[in-house]
Structure 1
Amino acid sequence: MSSAAQRLIPFSQFERLRSGREIIRQEAEALLDLVKRLDTGFCLAVQTLLDCPGSVIVCGMGKAGLIGQKITATLSSTGTRSHFLHPAEAVHGDLGCLHANDVLLALSNSGETEELLQILATVKEIGAKIVSITGSEQNSLALRSDVVIEIGRLREACPWGLAPSTTTTAMLAVGDALALVVAQARGFSPAHFARFHPGGSLGQKLKPVTEIMRPREQLRIASVHASVREVITGTARPGRRTGAVLLVDDDQALAGIFTDSDLARLLETRRDNGLDEPIGHVMTANPLTVRAGAVLADVIDLLAERKISELPVVNEDRQPIGLIDITDVIGWLPKESGE
């Protein structure tokens, strides 16, 4: 049998593939329509979350509740205090977690979810504001909300138009947009993100260079006016040797770098007389550096893009405070994981 024949997809598999693609296409089209539908209700919701002095309490039943748990996690990880409240548990005492300075983010496509509607009067009595993500501005949930984000009347992607699929995809997209726009408005930075993700692949990538670098006391640092020979013989340090000497000017600011490769080139070209010349004549002037606020991901990109092995870390006065050595970075490279 030819290889072309072996690659033919049986008709039953073809139909399954076509059906899967159609479902994804329907959901993608729904999201594109949602982009056009998003209006001032979204802006009001963002401002309501920004003005919230307490927590965002996300509430939803069934599949909407599962989406709500994901939105809760996204809000929390991007700097907005958030908790999930199951509406069925809420009517049996868990409403006690809600306070007047909180915002209830309610999710329901139909807006008629009985368990959710049951708690709204109490939420109003408590004094918390209600933001809803729902299908229409005219359903029971929307009419009792302070702010409404309308996702529209969407047809579910399942063959019978019943199983929550397109609607939950739309809710998740709106929740992501809400959380991330609020984070942007708050000036949320990668440093803040790292604080909430100390573990896993993300935590490793966002480690500050100050945790990875070799500190100043372990470095070979010399004046640009010293000779190559003086620098090589006079900058020995205990412990593991770095492959570069950092060269500073009279103000102790970094002026250049001299690596083992530079020394090898001097010897290979038989420029032995260069060993007694000022090292400033043969150093790499104004080398690439990073500031102490950089993170591991930035360092990896720089080392790979510029194909260098040593990267000085400097302070605001360009004085060297550390050195990133590629061999150290390899030890910090995050292993692939679920996050």
Structure 2
Amino acid sequence: MEAKELTSKENSKEQYAFYAKKLLKELSSSLAVLNQSLNSSFNKAVEIILKRSAQSRIIATGIGKAGYVAMKFSATLASIDVPSFFLHPAEAIHGDLGRVMKDDIIVIFSWSGTTEEITKLLPFLKERQCTIIGVTSQTASKVAKNSHLCLKLPLIKELGKLKLAPTTSTLLMMALADILAVTVSDFQLTTASQFAKNHPGGFLGRLLLPVEEVMRKGNMVCAVYQEEKVKEVIKKITSTEGRPGAAVIVDKEGKLLGIFTDGDLRRCLEKEEETFLSRPISHYMCQSPKIISPKATVEAALEKMTKHKIDQLIVLENGKVLGVIDIQDIWEPLNSC
């Protein structure tokens, strides 16, 4: 291949990224327009959701790309402790309308507001006396006219030369859905513990759990007395279930005195004579170990370990050792998720 041809192809590849950046600028401008368009209707939508009755569910619906936005909106609400589910418009008129109750709040996502599957659904929703919030770009559409409240999306052209594939429209719809859900979450004061209860699996869920739920305790904690010899302590660490990377040094009442870690052992091997193995562990333990409350989150434990470049934290309450949280206890379960 000649150098000229190669250069031409390389320039062509660079143009792809240049073009993509241009598209991103267009999307960014669209979000700025959405920001400017937010008005009292948005405030009312938040109020409707915040002031819902105890029996109310937020039911999101939409078809096509708008349906995916509706599903994501519903899933986000459920994760912040707002009862919600997605209702497929086509399934609704074939029996799923039975899931809709009088006090429910229906949020309809439809860019045009005229989609047939949605408009067929409207009279049946009104019969059930639900509160309907329409999210559309067309205020003169059937969706807007049959909604108790309309959240208008700015009418902006789609991306690309054809300007046909839903791109800008789905971005604006998703952005509005997300800021609506997050505003509700922040003003209803959703707590981290509530969020964690709805995320028992995966990365987020584990990080938001209290330390006491994941810490090592009982036989999985290598607890020794300060007079025990280093060699015996090493043996106990090795034989302890879960192979911890440290021993916790306590007094006869179980109060914390210090910690001896793998790092302390390596330093002893580098600097001390071999006789250190027959000396009391109190000579080599760290007397100011890092501790954490059993009620603290796993995320807080991880931040503390990262900040101090350590692998273990001792879980302490009223001066007594309840357990140990090891970096392995955080990452290994997450890697298997």
Match of 1:30 in 2: 30
Is residue 165 of structure 2 the alignment partner of residue 163 of structure 1?
yes
Equivalent-residue separation in structure 2 for 1:199 and 1:327 (angstroms): 17
Equivalent-residue separation in structure 1 for 2:262 and 2:19 (angstroms): 60
Match of 1:77 in 2: 79
How much is the aligned-residue C-alpha RMSD, in angstroms?
A: 3.8
Match of 2:149 in 1: 147
Give the deviation of 1:255 after TM superposition: 5.2
Equivalent-residue separation in structure 1 for 2:302 and 2:3 (angstroms): 42
Is residue 136 of structure 2 the alignment partner of residue 134 of structure 1?
yes
> What residue ranges of structure 1 are gaps of 5+ in the alignment?
none
Is residue 220 of structure 2 the alignment partner of residue 246 of structure 1?
no
- SS where residue 248 of structure 2 aligns? strand
Equivalent-residue separation in structure 2 for 1:195 and 1:3 (angstroms): 60
Number of matched pairs = 332
Give the deviation of 1:135 after TM superposition: 1.4
Match of 1:107 in 2: 109
Match of 1:44 in 2: 44
- SS where residue 120 of structure 1 aligns? helix
Q: 1:129 to 1:231 in 2, by over 3 A?
A: farther
Q: 1:327 to 1:79 in 2, by over 3 A?
A: closer
Equivalent-residue separation in structure 2 for 1:88 and 1:220 (angstroms): 60
Equivalent-residue separation in structure 2 for 1:15 and 1:258 (angstroms): 58
Q: Does the 8 Å CA contact 2:221/2:240 hold for their aligned counterparts?
A: no
Alignment deviations for residues 183-208 of structure 1 (CA, whole Å, 9 cap, x no partner): 23333344333333334444455555
Alignment deviations for residues 17-61 of structure 1 (CA, whole Å, 9 cap, x no partner): 454433332222111221222222222212212233321111112
- SS where residue 214 of structure 1 aligns? coil
Give the deviation of 1:75 after TM superposition: 2.1
Q: Does the 8 Å CA contact 2:257/2:287 hold for their aligned counterparts?
A: yes
Equivalent-residue separation in structure 2 for 1:29 and 1:18 (angstroms): 17
Alignment deviations for residues 69-124 of structure 1 (CA, whole Å, 9 cap, x no partner): 22222222332222222223333432221101210001122223343233333322
Q: 1:46 to 1:227 in 2, by over 3 A?
A: same
Amino acid at match of 2:181: A
- SS where residue 117 of structure 1 aligns? helix
Instruction: Out of 177-186 and 55-64, give the one that drifted further.
Output: 177-186
Equivalent-residue separation in structure 1 for 2:316 and 2:35 (angstroms): 44
Amino acid at match of 2:162: W
Amino acid at match of 2:326: D
TM-score normalised to the size of structure 2? 0.79
Within the candidate set 283, 302, 313, 2:315 is matched to: 313
- Aligned residue runs from structure 1 range 285-304, under 5 A: 285-304=287-306
Equivalent-residue separation in structure 2 for 1:127 and 1:146 (angstroms): 11
Q: 1:220 to 1:60 in 2, by over 3 A?
A: closer
Q: 1:125 to 1:310 in 2, by over 3 A?
A: same
Q: 1:65 to 1:220 in 2, by over 3 A?
A: closer
Give the deviation of 1:312 after TM superposition: 0.7
Equivalent-residue separation in structure 1 for 2:122 and 2:301 (angstroms): 50
Is residue 18 of structure 2 the alignment partner of residue 21 of structure 1?
no
- SS where residue 106 of structure 1 aligns? strand
Q: Does the 8 Å CA contact 1:205/1:333 hold for their aligned counterparts?
A: no
Equivalent-residue separation in structure 1 for 2:58 and 2:322 (angstroms): 42
Q: 1:249 to 1:15 in 2, by over 3 A?
A: same
Give the deviation of 1:166 after TM superposition: 0.9
Give the deviation of 1:132 after TM superposition: 1.6
Within the candidate set 185, 188, 197, 2:187 is matched to: 185
- SS where residue 143 of structure 2 aligns? helix
Equivalent-residue separation in structure 1 for 2:159 and 2:267 (angstroms): 66
> What residue ranges of structure 2 are gaps of 5+ in the alignment?
none
Instruction: Out of 253-262 and 144-153, give the one that drifted further.
Output: 253-262
Match of 2:324 in 1: 323
Identical pairs, percent: 31
Q: 1:121 to 1:7 in 2, by over 3 A?
A: same
Match of 1:197 in 2: 199
Equivalent-residue separation in structure 2 for 1:101 and 1:21 (angstroms): 46
Q: Does the 8 Å CA contact 2:61/2:87 hold for their aligned counterparts?
A: yes
Equivalent-residue separation in structure 2 for 1:136 and 1:251 (angstroms): 72
Instruction: Out of 103-112 and 293-302, give the one that drifted further.
Output: 293-302
Q: 1:36 to 1:289 in 2, by over 3 A?
A: farther
Q: Does the 8 Å CA contact 1:204/1:334 hold for their aligned counterparts?
A: no
Alignment deviations for residues 209-243 of structure 1 (CA, whole Å, 9 cap, x no partner): 334422044434467xx54659967x958634644
Give the deviation of 1:320 after TM superposition: 1.8
